[in-house]
Structure 1
């Protein structure tokens, strides 16, 4: 294999594995903050038991997320040295901000949150939970800033063959930052909520820790419902941004070959790049034009309007985008049904709905990954959209065999980390939350 293919495979594997954990922890952080708020305001030991349990789940995901995220930054200097040389003046700033302003905030207060139960007041503990949530949210923001600049570069000039930063805030709030950030945050809230729903549903089916599970399930269900429906609207605005700034990517998402007004929205189909058509297409007339600009007269560019050598891999882009949308609709349907059953006071009466939630953590996790693949593959062949092609960003000094060897090492190490994570997670789930009676006895003794 070539250096380019191996470098892309290694980055895909490492970031794909890493991206399991940040959305989960970001979403859990805000739910934990809500639980800590309820504990602070009511003094109810059930909320303390809930907070302790979910903080331990959060901490486990945080540790593995950090361990799997560190190699990503090193790859920019090894496998992608030409890219780093080209954008280092810009790309380094948000990564530095993420480390200084977000990661240390999150990790410091997480230590207080995990180890401070007998040493800190409830109010201090509550503040710590807020700082962890803010830190994780800020961390996501700066990472999205860096990636969004690759999609829609701004605030720069080309000088001596390099992109040089000229306006920090223009680069930070480039044309795709906010839409992509809110889309990622919605996915993170959904992921954290569905993790909580999955574990709670397991306890409910096993008839274990019933009070804990029912309360956790209800809290997570509300968050998952809001996040899932919210993604529908946030995704719409994100789609408008893609249409304005990356029309070729939108055409690839939709398998849209012909430039036209009254552009149809594709329900189903298989893009055929060789024949320049979408086979087995089921379309709704005019809906795509209305969706991006509110008018049937809006002209939406098709793939044929762009140079063939700038088309992204169509099948991957198309399939990943539509898989993300399909999973999003599944989450909307499932959470809506859950709320209807709750309103009817029948939420925990049907095992079938609980069984549907047990693998629920997979729904947003896969949706996040499909969305990421659609976004990144959809901007190919560019590593910096319109400025630098991916083939130009790869290292020219690292030989293919070294990348292949390090990829095999990463597969082994990440495999071990994955096994350790799930082993510890399942052990924690089997042990369950601390009994409320034990917490009450502990309070009396203290």
Structure 2
């Protein structure tokens, strides 16, 4: 493995792990705040138990997210020094603000964890809300930095030098809103379905049903609403990609030929050599409509993009199809949940209903990983879209392959530790809490 591939692989591995920790870390506090609010309003002890259990999960993911995020920050400088030399002064502001949000989150989490019985009950609840808000702000700020790489603004490039730098304009680049919205909604959907799936399993096993039913309903509501809204955020994001990164859109859709009534490709196997997609379902004009709000307007295909500037088509297309397919499956399950909530409350205890949520536990995070694959692989060969190529930014330092193997071991060890801690936490719930008074949520 050469340095270039080792550096890219290490960055992909680090981001792949961190995105899971960070999504859960910035969404779970909102679940926690809702259950805490329900406890304060109803004085139902089950909600207090749910809040305390989830707060321990928040602490676990806060710690692991901090570790993996710190590693990512160092990797930007170690693996991509040329990139940081030129880009650091331009898009450094969101990273510095993210640090501030992180410290606020850490302080608020400390207040919340150790504030039971020590603070005014509503101030205590408010500290939990601050944990969620600051965590969400951290995520948005980091995504804003990534969006700048996809839509670089806030500077002028003159004779190879970056001048007239405007950090505010760089942070609020044209892609930041659509990308941040899509990522935040995805985080809520993925975390909601994952948490709901774990509690659905406990309900199916008839373990501490009152506790797990309340947990399930809070998590499921967040996940369902986010999954139903996700196509709207996806449409906004896709329109921005069509405008700012036509090569990425073409690779996502395996769209080889520029033509009116550009078809939407569903599935299929891209044949890059022969510029076609085998075994695909085509909907004529739909890609044109989705990109330009007009069925006839041509969508720029790969035939108008120089070969050296084209992203890997197969990887980008498959990742995009996975993301969309899993998103639609989650949305369908969300509709089923809403039907149960409105008219079929007996479904909540049915084996088939709970089994669907158990099966959906990993779907959101697989979709998130696929989405980030589209974002990063679809931008290639650029590390800064249209400005700097990835190969020109990699470190000349030898031995990056060994670093990749070391970090692989570290991340897998960290993941095993997280799984062990969460498993122990779930097993301890029936021991720690006496919730036999009620067997279902109202």
Aligned partner (choices 396, 407, 411) of residue 410 of structure 1: 407
CA–CA distance in structure 1, aligned partners of residues 180 and 423 of structure 2: 31
Secondary structure of the 2:207 match is: coil
CA–CA distance in structure 2, aligned partners of residues 165 and 279 of structure 1: 48
Q: Is the contact made by 2:208 and 2:436 (CA closer than 8 Å) also made in structure 1?
A: no
After superposition, where does 1:376-395 map in structure 2 within 5 Å?
A: 376-395=376-395
- Render the CA deviation track for 1:243-265: whole Å, top value 9, x for unaligned: 11111111111111111111111
Displacement, 1:5?
0.8
- CA RMSD of superposed structures (Å): 1.7
Displacement, 1:34?
1.8
After superposition, where does 1:96-245 map in structure 2 within 5 Å?
A: 96-100=96-100, 102-158=101-157, 161-164=160-163, 166-245=165-244
User: Are 2:66 and 1:69 aligned?
Assistant: no
CA–CA distance in structure 2, aligned partners of residues 280 and 244 of structure 1: 28
- Render the CA deviation track for 1:288-325: whole Å, top value 9, x for unaligned: 11112221121211110110111101110000011000
Q: Is the contact made by 1:197 and 1:360 (CA closer than 8 Å) also made in structure 2?
A: no
Displacement, 1:162?
4.1
Q: Is the contact made by 1:89 and 1:164 (CA closer than 8 Å) also made in structure 2?
A: no
Secondary structure of the 2:345 match is: coil
Secondary structure of the 1:347 match is: helix
CA–CA distance in structure 1, aligned partners of residues 11 and 2 of structure 2: 14
For the structure 1 residues 9 and 162, does the alpha-carbon distance in structure 2 shift closer, same or farther, using more than 3 Å as the test? Answer: farther
Q: Is the contact made by 1:186 and 1:231 (CA closer than 8 Å) also made in structure 2?
A: yes
CA–CA distance in structure 1, aligned partners of residues 105 and 67 of structure 2: 15
Bigger mean CA deviation after superposition, 192-201 or 324-333: 192-201
CA–CA distance in structure 2, aligned partners of residues 229 and 323 of structure 1: 17
CA–CA distance in structure 1, aligned partners of residues 435 and 199 of structure 2: 20
CA–CA distance in structure 2, aligned partners of residues 171 and 14 of structure 1: 25
CA–CA distance in structure 2, aligned partners of residues 326 and 438 of structure 1: 40
When the two structures are aligned, how many residues end up with a matched partner? 435
| Equivalence for 2:44 | 44
Bigger mean CA deviation after superposition, 15-24 or 321-330: 15-24
| Equivalence for 2:349 | 349
| Equivalence for 2:425 | 428
User: Are 2:247 and 1:258 aligned?
Assistant: no
| Equivalence for 1:60 | 60
CA–CA distance in structure 1, aligned partners of residues 70 and 389 of structure 2: 25
- Render the CA deviation track for 1:2-33: whole Å, top value 9, x for unaligned: 21111111111111111111111222122222
CA–CA distance in structure 2, aligned partners of residues 108 and 159 of structure 1: 44
Displacement, 1:65?
1.3
For the structure 1 residues 241 and 184, does the alpha-carbon distance in structure 2 shift closer, same or farther, using more than 3 Å as the test? Answer: same
* TM-score normalised over the length of structure 1: 0.94
Bigger mean CA deviation after superposition, 213-222 or 5-14: 213-222
CA–CA distance in structure 1, aligned partners of residues 44 and 123 of structure 2: 17
CA–CA distance in structure 1, aligned partners of residues 194 and 156 of structure 2: 44
CA–CA distance in structure 2, aligned partners of residues 18 and 222 of structure 1: 25
Displacement, 1:95?
0.9
CA–CA distance in structure 1, aligned partners of residues 164 and 10 of structure 2: 29
Q: Is the contact made by 1:91 and 1:146 (CA closer than 8 Å) also made in structure 2?
A: yes
| Equivalence for 2:318 | 319
| Equivalence for 2:6 | 6
| Unpaired runs of at least 5, structure 2 | 438-442
CA–CA distance in structure 2, aligned partners of residues 359 and 268 of structure 1: 22
Displacement, 1:437?
6.7
CA–CA distance in structure 1, aligned partners of residues 247 and 159 of structure 2: 29
Displacement, 1:196?
2.2
| Equivalence for 1:444 | none
Q: Is the contact made by 2:194 and 2:364 (CA closer than 8 Å) also made in structure 1?
A: no
- Render the CA deviation track for 1:122-161: whole Å, top value 9, x for unaligned: 1121111111011111101110111010000011122563
- Render the CA deviation track for 1:157-186: whole Å, top value 9, x for unaligned: 225634346222221111110000010100
CA–CA distance in structure 2, aligned partners of residues 192 and 162 of structure 1: 43
Secondary structure of the 1:158 match is: strand
Displacement, 1:195?
2.6
For the structure 1 residues 164 and 417, does the alpha-carbon distance in structure 2 shift closer, same or farther, using more than 3 Å as the test? Answer: farther
Q: Is the contact made by 2:208 and 2:435 (CA closer than 8 Å) also made in structure 1?
A: no
Displacement, 1:359?
4.2
Displacement, 1:438?
11
| Equivalence for 1:248 | 247
Q: Is the contact made by 2:92 and 2:167 (CA closer than 8 Å) also made in structure 1?
A: no
